Amino acid sequence: MVRIDPNIGILAWKSGSPEFPHWLNTSYRDRVHFRRDAFIELRAMGSGDQGTYEVQTIYYGSELLNCDRFELRVVEPMSTPTVEVSCNSSHLMLNCSTVSGCPVTYRWEQRSQDPSVENATFPGAVLYLPHTGQLNYT
């Protein structure tokens, strides 16, 4: 098993003892497991592990029987968003933030209780609303 770009050898095994790797890259030692039921299990993967991987099955070291490639994408969970609200005489400001290892896209959606008022969306972490004293939005 190799990672294509950058080219990193990860794991090699022999058919005589498939449950134990013949060779294992030290940076993957506790994260890659070759299971007896012929599955390779990747654990504790992070965004730095994203990329294309290839698993080769070779018969007697020269005849390629099988070559499978797969793309690995890692999505890191983010914390629950926090919204800070500040208000003065002219406007109301909503500021959304979260702790995350990945880039986050923020979008505000304004929904009016009045069917004659059109709903709207606004991009960004901060939303400024004019303070009219009669805001009736969700």
Same domain, 65 and 11: yes
**Whole-model pTM over 0.75:** no
Does residue 136 fall inside a structural domain? no
Count of domains forming the chain: 2
* Residue among 131, 108, 105 at smallest CA distance from 120: 108
pLDDT surpassing 60 at residue 135:
no
Does residue 116 fall inside a structural domain? yes
Same domain, 17 and 55: yes
- Structure confidence by residue, pLDDT tens digits, 74-104: 887 778 888 999 988 788 888 998 887 677 8
pLDDT surpassing 80 at residue 20:
no
Same domain, 6 and 68: yes
* Residue among 57, 124, 67 at smallest CA distance from 95: 124
Same domain, 11 and 44: yes
